[in-house]
Amino acid sequence: MTQLAMPPLDTAVLARRDEIVGALRRIVPDGVIDSEVGMRPYESDGLTAYRQPPMVVVLPETVDQVAAVLSWCHGEGVKVVPRGAGTSLSGGALPLGDGVLMSMMRFNRVKRIDFENRVAVVEPGVTNLGITRAVEHRGFYYAPDPSSQIACSIGGNVAENSGGVHCLKYGLTTNNVLGVEMVLITGEIVCLGGAHLDSGGYDLLALVVGSEGLLGVVTEVTVRILRAPETARAVLVAFDSSEAAGACVADIIAAGIIPGGMEMMDKPAIHAAEDFVHAGYPREAEALLIVELDGPAVEVDHLLERVEAIARSRGAFECRVSNSDAERMAFWAGRKAAFPAVGRISPDYYCMDGTIPRKELPTVLRRMTELSGKYGLRVANVFHAGDGNLHPLILYDANVPGELERAEDFGSDILRLCVEVGGVLTGEHGVGVEKRDLMPTMFDETDLAHQIRVKCAFDEKHLLNPGKVFPELHRCAELGRMHVSGGRVPFPDIPRF
Amino acid sequence: MAGEGTLSPTTPDGVLAAVQAAVADRAPLIVRGRGTKDGLGHAVASNRVLDLSGLTGVTLYEPEELVLSALAGTPMAEIEALLDANGQELAFEPPMRHLIWGLEDAGTIGGAVMVNAAGPRRVKAGAARDHVLGMKAVSGRGEAFKAGGRVVKNVTGYDLSKGLAGSFGTLAVATEITVKVLPKAETTATLVLHGLSDRDAVAALAEAMGAPVEAAGAAHLPAGVATALDLTEAATVVRLEGVEPSVAARFERLATILRPRGRITRLEAAESAALWRALRDGLLFSQDRLLPLWRVSVAPTAGPSVAEAAQAAAVAYDWAGGLVWLAMDPAEPDAGAARIRAAVKAAGGGHATLMRGSDALRAAVPVFEPEMPSVAALTGRLRHQFDPLGVLNPGRMGAGR
């Protein structure tokens, strides 16, 4: 594990641990875990390089319990880290040694489905796929589909503004959530949005979605459900250069076509996937595109013809159109298994998540190859080509001294490169602890101060999930006096909380 | 009075200087683009106007990347023309003529985003907030900052540019806005169901929205307002957009589903476009501009009950019934505010905004939906964080925001 600066442990709080556990037990009698063994599953989330046992775990079951726990912690100055299913890839749910870890996984009911108004009201612990499961008997679904959808919770999706392969056409979580009920750190319950559209005042919901558990604990979510498209077909397109594949993507969009999904893989990723699931990918391809069209059959067929023509004009040497759902799923099998496939060819891998303007793809891939040489580590790329979201997988071996650190430095260089070409540090995995210290490469001190001002309006004492997202915490009253210059945190070696 | 007059910066730095001067003088600013939304919101007690109509220019447009950036005062008409020349559009369909106030001007990109504009396509494509990717702005602290970026997929920090959409310039003055743009549909057609009651119409629209036809608009015009479009009876309309064979197939599918509900006709592309343009721009309520006008957002099936409770002079429904336009009798002192808001609450929640009303009415009635106390307190704290001295449009959205 690499060193990560976190807020210094509050020894006064740690000294009161028994009292704190007792107070939580009075509020949630059957939902407090304080044994070392019992707390072990909560030590990390999907970013397993970082581990930290919490001070205590609480699993509330009712909104009143959530409010009472938060209100008590607020009054006593105790930090709280909210947690959903624990699938975050950026350490958003990493516990604090002097903090209460609040798991929301007992909030697991689908409360109301309203097909006429096309909304579902669910508790935050319901899984992303669980929503679709609850409405699919009537032909409906919930559109955002992060690859962890079988396990990740909708509460976590709200915290991270999760995406998925279909968000080019159907939007991210923020475009598909209509309302939340949430509890502030003070214990106040606020309701934002609902079955209606938009806000009559400030769009606080827009700030809450993607806030990584720093603004409140969500206790209910209202999502928009959609009628599932009648059909979907995919075409697998092989190119002998990533430039040609990138140009094909640009041409498809320039032709006015917004596919349901449009994914790209580079040669290392193609080989890893093919060796793993034998999806039938052409091994000689330098770049592979999967383009999926959905809608009425007549539309899908019509657009597939156009996509094929565009691909041929860009020099595709193979275009394979799916003729059945089984074949379509086979196309996707390799892409969806890309991460475990890479896991087979390397002891460890580190998954990055930058977004770039699509046209910069050839430049970024070329520079990434140079970096790969510099760090002596291999990299495989999968890419949500439609929206420019890049997932480089850096291959390393944690048992070789120094390789993890090298992988992390390589990753940081890739993200800096994304920002340099006009992109961003994270497209869908969140900042968490992982990209926290890179925030100044994208935002200057005033930019960050305005984001922290939102935090100050919701949680002035910085008790909810501190140490995540922002590289420095400042008392809200002192915000005018932040000093970060030239995109670097000054004196990077000193503790900063 | 100190600080009177109009400041007309033509650069973001000029905006920064103007806000810093307002902070230094403790002199509130009326933030204004082309003035097309002067009729919306409460009056701001100030004589100092920050006029952004000279802060113009498209700074980035890459059609194949589906992205456009423009300085906040850039006219919407200019942006629409540029996008149109490339077969693209702003999919949230902001009004291009503000006919409810008798204005032919479409205003500015800053104005459209700061009121979170949304047209009939809201049901499919979202509102302005769903299309904002990034923003440069000056907060009420006199500090310039940026938020978001130029790419669609971005979760780097809070989504501040979305949060600022719809804040009516009370948190920050936008200087440059980056939005997602999308290809225009190749063709469009509208299915018209004739002669339905409001309740039957909203039930039909629910069925249409729940069918796999990707409706890109779902409205109901009761007989009273349908005459503005030369229709003789109530019209329930569903818009389909896309490539020709797809629109044809979906029209047939939808017609099969809805045929038991009434007589069906079809509007072809040109007629269809004219109808939705009229709905988008508020043509239905452009005749008697003395009538106070409410825009109410509720769950779609709640629309008719809110309309009944309102006892309005004229009603129209958009967003499958979830957006209710209510023109009220001008003789009523509160324009039905209490009745309408009680009905919204009884229907499960939502919001009613007074879009049009005399100065006296807007002084007497909260223009924006009053918030629950915990939300109002949060709103107040956010406002204080961004504009502690209250120099940006103070009171425009009501006391405390």
Per-residue model confidence (pLDDT) at position B2: 45
**Helices B244-258 and A297-313, interaxial angle, to 10°?**
170
Q: pLDDT by residue (tens digit) across B84-128?
A: 999 999 999 999 999 999 999 999 999 999 999 999 999 999 999
C-alpha triplet A411, A82, A48: angle, nearest 5°: 35
Contact B64 A254 (CB under 8 A): yes
The verdict on A246 touching B (C-beta cutoff 8 Å) is no
- Using CA atoms, how far residue B31 sits from B105, B379, B385, in Å, is 18, 20, 19
Residue B290 burial (C-beta neighbours within 10 Å; 0-12, 13-18, 19+): exposed
What's the mean per-residue pLDDT of chain B? Answer: 96
- Chain A, residues 128-167, CB within 8 A of chain B, namely 138-140, 160-161, 163, 167
- Using CA atoms, how far residue A82 sits from A21, A211, A343, A439, in Å, is 17, 12, 29, 22
Per-residue model confidence (pLDDT) at position A48: 87
CATH number of B288-364: 3.30.70
Nearest CA among A494, A475, A476, A454 for reference residue A215? A454
> Strand A354-355 relative to strand A389-396: parallel, antiparallel, unpaired?
antiparallel
Residue of A nearest to B66 (CA): A253
* Residue B179 near residue B220, CB atoms below 8 Å: no
The verdict on A113 touching B (C-beta cutoff 8 Å) is no
Please give the Cα distance from A351 to A331 (Å, whole number): 22
- As a whole number, mean pLDDT of residues B329-340 equals 96
Residue B85 burial (C-beta neighbours within 10 Å; 0-12, 13-18, 19+): exposed
Residue type, A142: Y
Helix, strand, coil in percent for chain A, rounding step 5 = 40, 20, 40
* Cβ neighbours, 10 Å, residue A132: 18
- How many angstroms separate the CA of residue B350 from the nearest CA in chain A? 6
- How many angstroms separate the CA of residue B1 from the nearest CA in chain A? 31
Domains and CATH numbers, chain A: 1-228 (3.30.465.10), 231-339 (3.30.70.2190), 346-420 (3.30.70.2740)
The verdict on A117 touching B (C-beta cutoff 8 Å) is yes
Q: pLDDT by residue (tens digit) across A258-280?
A: 999 999 999 999 999 999 999 89
- Topology alike, domains B187-283 and B288-364: yes
Contact B156 A115 (CB under 8 A): no
Residue of A nearest to B186 (CA): A256
Residue A236 burial (C-beta neighbours within 10 Å; 0-12, 13-18, 19+): buried
Return the residue in A450, A465, A479 with the most chain B beta carbons within 10 A, the one to mutate for interface testing.
A450
Please give the Cα distance from B22 to B394 (Å, whole number): 12
- Nearest CB among A119, A174, A202 relative to B167 is that of A202
Residue A137 burial (C-beta neighbours within 10 Å; 0-12, 13-18, 19+): exposed
Per-residue model confidence (pLDDT) at position A480: 60
Please give the Cα distance from A109 to A124 (Å, whole number): 8
Tokens describing residue A326: 């089984």
Residue type, A48: T
Please give the Cα distance from B372 to B374 (Å, whole number): 6
Contact B401 A202 (CB under 8 A): yes
Q: Which CATH number fits domain B1-184+371-401: 3.30.465.10, 2.40.160.40, 3.40.50.20, 1.10.357.10?
A: 3.30.465.10
Domain boundaries of chain B, sorted by first residue = 1-184+371-401, 187-283, 288-364
pLDDT at B7 over 70: yes
From chain A, the residues in CB contact with B250 under 8 A are 296
Please give the Cα distance from A374 to A388 (Å, whole number): 25
pLDDT at B272 over 90: yes
Q: pLDDT by residue (tens digit) across B290-305?
A: 999 999 999 999 999 9
The verdict on A48 touching B (C-beta cutoff 8 Å) is no
The residues with which A262 forms a beta bridge, in sequence order, are: A291
- How many angstroms separate the CA of residue A469 from the nearest CA in chain B? 7
Per-residue model confidence (pLDDT) at position A489: 40
Please report where in the chains the tokens 């300085």 appear, as a residue: B71
Contact A174 B130 (CB under 8 A): yes
What's the mean per-residue pLDDT of chain A? Answer: 93
Give a three-class secondary structure readout of chain B. CCCCEEECCCCHHHHHHHHHHHHHHCCCEEEECCCCCCCCCCCCCCCEEEECCCCCCEEEEEHHHCEEEEECCCEHHHHHHHHHHCCEECCCCCCCCCHHHCCCCCCEHHHHHHCCCCCCCHHHHCCHHHHEEEEEEEECCCCEEEEECCCCCCCCCCCHHHHHCCCCCCCEEEEEEEEECEECCCEEEEEEEECCCHHHHHHHHHHHHCCCCCCCCEEEECHHHHHHHCCCCCEEEEEEEECHHHHHHHHHHHHHHHHHHCEEEEECHHHHHHHHHHHHHCHHHCCCCCCCEEEEEECHHHHHHHHHHHCCCEEEEEHHHCEEEEECCCCCCCCCHHHHHHHHHHCCCEEEEEEECCHHHHHHCCCCCCCCHHHHHHHHHHHHHHCCCCCECCCCCCCCC
From chain A, the residues in CB contact with B122 under 8 A are 197-198
DSSP letter string over A213-277?
Answer: TSS-EEEEEEEE-EEPPSEEEEEEEEES-HHHHHHHHHHHHHTT---SEEEEEEHHHHHHHHHHH
Q: pLDDT by residue (tens digit) across B13-36?
A: 999 999 999 999 999 999 999 999
Per-residue model confidence (pLDDT) at position B3: 57
Q: Is A77 left (phi over 0), alpha (psi -120 to 50) or beta?
A: left
pLDDT band, residue B231 (cuts 50/70/90): confident
DSSP letter string over A271-283?
Answer: HHHHHHH-----T
- Using CA atoms, how far residue B322 sits from A108, B129, B203, B238, B278, in Å, is 29, 18, 12, 14, 18
Please report where in the chains the tokens 């045929």 appear, as a residue: B259
Length of chain B: 401
B187-283 carries CATH number 3.40.1110.10 = no
What is residue A493's three-state secondary structure?
Answer: coil
| Spans of chain A below 50 pLDDT | 1, 481-496
- Chain A, residues 74-93, CB within 8 A of chain B, namely none
Residue of B nearest to A299 (CA): B246
From chain A, the residues in CB contact with B379 under 8 A are 201-202, 204
- As a whole number, mean pLDDT of residues B164-180 equals 98
State the complex-level ipTM.
0.97
Residue of B nearest to A456 (CA): B385
Tokens describing residue B69: 């950036």
